[in-house]
Every structure is written in structure tokens, then in C-alpha cells.
Amino acid sequence: MRMVNVAAAQMGPIQRAETRAQVAERLMALMHQAHDLGADLIVYPELTLTTFFPRYYVTDTDEINRWYETEMPGAETQPLFDLARQCGIAMYLGYAELTPEGKRFNTAILTDKQAQIVGKYRKVHLPGHADFDPERAFQHLEKYYFEPGDLGFPVWRALGGIFGMCICNDRRWPETYRTMGLQGVEMLLLGYNTPSVNSQRASEGPAERYFQNDLVLQSGAYQNSTWVVATAKAGSEDGNHMIGGSAIVNPEGHIVAQAKTEDDEIVFHACDLDDTEFGKKTIFDFARHRRPEHYGRITGQVGVELPPEE
Ligand code: ING
């Protein structure tokens, strides 16, 4: 048995006017709840220090920069790191990163139980659009505010196992899970901010978004025999609703714990990393069953190449 007690720390809405100090208080309250449950690891959402600002088109650089972190931990997040160290809890934390070179990424870090950063991931799959789109009911400007991640999909040895990270839209792409599956990932951590309606198709509402969320988490876990921990920032931010549904999925693809609210809520499960072994040794023993000589299109192409017309 290699037990990891996991707390998915779902956040309710963060309003545009909310300060980092106020957010940090909420994050630390969740950390205390996780500690009381005996958590080894807490998983916070994507961009969990601010409102989901890609829904706004802002041109003033000073205003834009206020949504980014230039250091991690910074002054407002240091108390959270100090508490994590006191509690002996490892942490996944999503935030907007502004590098010294002026590059902007949608980033997540993994810390160990001493609150030391052991891994960093930068979101590869950026959904939405790069320019203001007047046709949309609301904007989704991740291609405007961020550049694609430049770190790939690494995994890290931590907490007695092999851990990976991704962010939000990444969870919809099977390549994300398989790239880490091919490195032996045993627990994949992710945060998300998912609007509950489609800005381009009003008929696609919350029920469909919740269904698709479960679908991609369960398939990714099953097809790579890995645990998946997915944590939402949920609820209505300045009138813009996002789904909850934070979940812990086991290596057979079953949801073993899921959020009941769209607010600050701990979703807890005692996970045994050894549960990943059977799938990796049988149906998803990649070395025995995969035929990469037939998979060339997956890395050889970007978009669709249609067959010739009849
Ligand atoms: N949000 C959404 C997500 O992938 C989205 C964007 C929703 C894209 C639904 C397509 C369909 O969950 C982020 N932040 O990626």
C-alpha cells in the first residue's frame, strides 16, 4: 500500500474586487480543513489567486499585470506556504505567472510537505481566442493573456509515487494523459475554471459541461491507469457562472469522491497508488500492446487532413 490522503480544495467564486489576501484566507481555511482530515496533499484550482480574468478584455498593462505573480511564493502567498509547511501538506497551486523575461503563462506548481516547489507546469492547451470577439456572450481570452506552456508534460517523483500536472483545457485532450502515462504517472493533478455555458452555443448548458467534465477525467484515468484529481473554481464570478464537480477518479475510471456544492469545499479520499499497478501490468501495459508505428499522425499533424474527394 502506498497511501496518499488527497484533498481536492474546490474554491467558490473569486470576485474581481477580491484581494489576494482575502483569497489567501479562504485557501488557508481549506488547508486547515484538509489538515483536520489528515491530508497529505491539497489540490487547488487553476488561477486560484484571482478571478478568471480571461473573461475580460483589458488593454492597460498595469491593470493586466495585477493579475499575475512575479514571484512564488510572494508576499500574499507566503502565509499559505508557511501553513502548508506547518501542516506537512504538499500542494498543487494554479496561478498566472509573469516571468522576469516578460513571458506570461497559466501555471501550476507542486510543492513537497516542506512547502518547497518540486515541480512547475505551464498550460499547453489554451482554449478560446486571442482578440476581442464582439460576437461572444462573454470573452475567453486565454490566447491573449498567455502563451502556450514551454515545459511539456513532465512528471515528478513525490509522496512515494509518480505525479503529473495539467491545467483545465488540457484535461480534454487525450494526448495530455498519455504523454504522462508513458512516463508512468500514478496521480495526475489539475485545476480548472469552466464556464457553465458555451459562449458560442447557448444550448450547451451546465448539465452538458458537467457531463463532459466527468467524461474526460474518467477516460483519462482509465486509459492510463492513473488517479486523477481535478479541482474547480466554481460558482458565479461577477455574474459569470462556472461549474463545480471537483472530483477524485481512481485508476479504473470510477469517481470515488465529488463536490456537492459550487463553493469552497474539500473533496477527500484516501488513495492507494498501488491501485494503478494492475492496469499498467495488464490491459494498459503500453510496452506489450501499443503500436506506435501506426500513430504517426498524432505528432505528425496539427489539424485534420481529409481524404481525397470521391
Ligand atoms: N476553461 C474551459 C475548459 O476547457 C472550455 C474552456 C470549456 C473549452 C468548454 C471548451 C469547452 O474547461 C479553461 N480555463 O480552459
Does the residue 301 lie in any domain?
no
Q: Which of 48, 52, 168 to mutate to test ligand 1, by most ligand atoms within 8 A of the CB atom?
A: 168
Query: Number of folded domains in the chain?
Result: 1
Q: Round the CA-based radius of gyration of the chain to a whole number and report it.
A: 19
Q: Which residues contact 49 (CB under 8 A, 6 or more apart)?
A: 14, 20, 23, 24, 69, 76, 77, 95, 96
For residues 238-250, average pLDDT: 97
Q: Which residues contact 158 (CB under 8 A, 6 or more apart)?
A: 90, 110, 112, 118, 119
- pLDDT score recorded for residue 201: 77
- What is the extent of the structural domain holding 131? 3-289
- pLDDT score recorded for residue 4: 99
Does the residue 174 lie in any domain?
yes
CA of 148 to the centre of ligand 1 (A): 15
Does the residue 285 lie in any domain?
yes
- pLDDT score recorded for residue 202: 75
pLDDT band per the 50, 70, 90 thresholds, residue 250: very high
- pLDDT score recorded for residue 199: 72
Report the distance separating Cα 15 and Cα 13, nearest Å: 6
Q: Which residues contact 117 (CB under 8 A, 6 or more apart)?
A: 72, 109, 110, 111
**pTM, 2 dp:** 0.98
Does the residue 302 lie in any domain?
no
Catalytic residue set = 46, 123, 168
> What CATH number is attached to the domain comprising 15?
3.60.110.10
Report the distance separating Cα 192 and Cα 243, nearest Å: 9
- pLDDT score recorded for residue 177: 99
Question: What rounded mean pLDDT belongs to the chain?
Answer: 97
Per-residue pLDDT tens for 147-173? 999 999 999 999 999 999 999 999 999
Report the distance separating Cα 30 and Cα 91, nearest Å: 12
pLDDT above 80 (res 59) = yes
CA of 125 to the centre of ligand 1 (A): 10
- pLDDT score recorded for residue 204: 80
Does the residue 299 lie in any domain?
no
Nearest atom within ligand 1 for CA of residue 140? 6
pLDDT band per the 50, 70, 90 thresholds, residue 186: very high
- pLDDT score recorded for residue 20: 96
Report the distance separating Cα 25 and Cα 187, nearest Å: 27
Does the residue 303 lie in any domain?
no
pLDDT above 90 (res 137) = no
Does the residue 150 lie in any domain?
yes
Pocket of ligand 1 (CB under 6 A): 127, 168-169, 172, 192-194
For residue 239, CA distances in Å to 66, 196, 309 come to 21, 12, 47
Q: Which residues contact 211 (CB under 8 A, 6 or more apart)?
A: none
pLDDT above 80 (res 33) = yes
Residue 45's Cα: distance from chain center in Å?
6
Instruction: Show the cell assigned to 300.
Output: 505528425
For residues 237-262, average pLDDT: 98
Q: Which residues contact 296 (CB under 8 A, 6 or more apart)?
A: none
Report the distance separating Cα 97 and Cα 77, nearest Å: 13
For residues 193-208, average pLDDT: 86
Nearest atom within ligand 1 for CA of residue 142? 14
For residues 6-10, average pLDDT: 99
Q: For residues 230, 236, 237 and 238, what is the CA-based torsion angle, rounded to 10 degrees?
A: 170
For residue 119, CA distances in Å to 93, 97, 173, 304 come to 11, 14, 21, 34
For residues 66-92, average pLDDT: 98
